[in-house]
Amino acid sequence: MEYGKPEMMAVAIMRMISDGDIVFHGLASSTPMVAMKAAKALGKNFTYVTLSDGVDHDYLRPPVVASTLTANTYEGSVATFGLDEIFDLYASGKGDIAFLSCLQMDQTGRIAMSYLGGTYDNPKLRGPGGAGSATLTPVTKKVIIWKPQHDKRTFVEHVDFATTSPPLDKEFTVITTLCIFKKPAGEKLLKVDRIFPYTTLEEVKENTGWTIDQTDVPVMDPPTEEELAALKKVDPNNILHFEFK
């Protein structure tokens, strides 16, 4: 079975989830939505919370559009749990994973979501805002950023205005179309944790705005037939590809 960047990213997301985890994604998050449904289809026993207010919805109800706010993330839920309650849960330290994204990021994991260029009051591009990321990032055990691009416009040497930044004492992971960056707890800088099978460390370096001095990194195992089948099962309308057009 063939796969591309969308499937590889989704599989990388799926593999981050462990049994017993409480896992959140927000709005405009079609990639982790499909990946989390597929992780459920693989039998991973985690708790799925999102801002549809539903907990552990029926993952077999497929998305028909790329929104993460439609009925498919609520129908069949085992409980109703509002966004305010999700934030309280995570603030109490019980949230294991939050899947978040960014407009830009630098090697320290500082994330721009508010604006790009200019100043806060006179921005060149006004972004959508942090959408809770500044609240969730310091209190979540594992923040995982997914970004369906990997280029020097996104991964820059320095983010001028950080909407949020990772805490020193927690692990912080970034999944791109080419690789996984990781900042272990206690460290300040992102390093390449592993690259995907279809790329090279040289290509990652060429498309990253900061200097990567690593010379040898592991290659992630490609998606298995079972993982690809799970993605197909939960996403017959191929919403996974939306963010990669």
Positions touching another protein (CB under 8 A) are: 26-28, 30, 51, 65-70, 83, 113-114, 118, 120-135, 163-164, 242-243
Least Å distance between CB 64 and another protein? 11
Q: Which is nearer to another protein, 114 or 173 (CB)?
A: 114
Alpha carbon separation from 55 to 23, 41, 139 (Å, rounded)? 10, 16, 20
Place of tokens 């979501």: 113
Place of tokens 């912080």: 172
Residue 113 CA, distance from chain mean position: 14
Least Å distance between CB 163 and another protein? 6
Least Å distance between CB 192 and another protein? 28
Least Å distance between CB 198 and another protein? 24
Q: Which is nearer to another protein, 52 or 176 (CB)?
A: 52
Q: Which is nearer to another protein, 51 or 175 (CB)?
A: 51
Task: Single out the residue of 170, 208, 169 nearest to residue 191, CA to CA.
Answer: 208
Task: Single out the residue of 132, 137, 127 nearest to residue 104, CA to CA.
Answer: 127
Least Å distance between CB 132 and another protein? 6
Q: How far apart are CA 143 and CA 172, in angstroms?
A: 5
Q: Which is nearer to another protein, 30 or 199 (CB)?
A: 30
The DSSP code sequence of 23-37 is EEE-SS-HHHHHHHH
172 strand-pairing partners: 143, 183
Q: Which is nearer to another protein, 42 or 136 (CB)?
A: 136
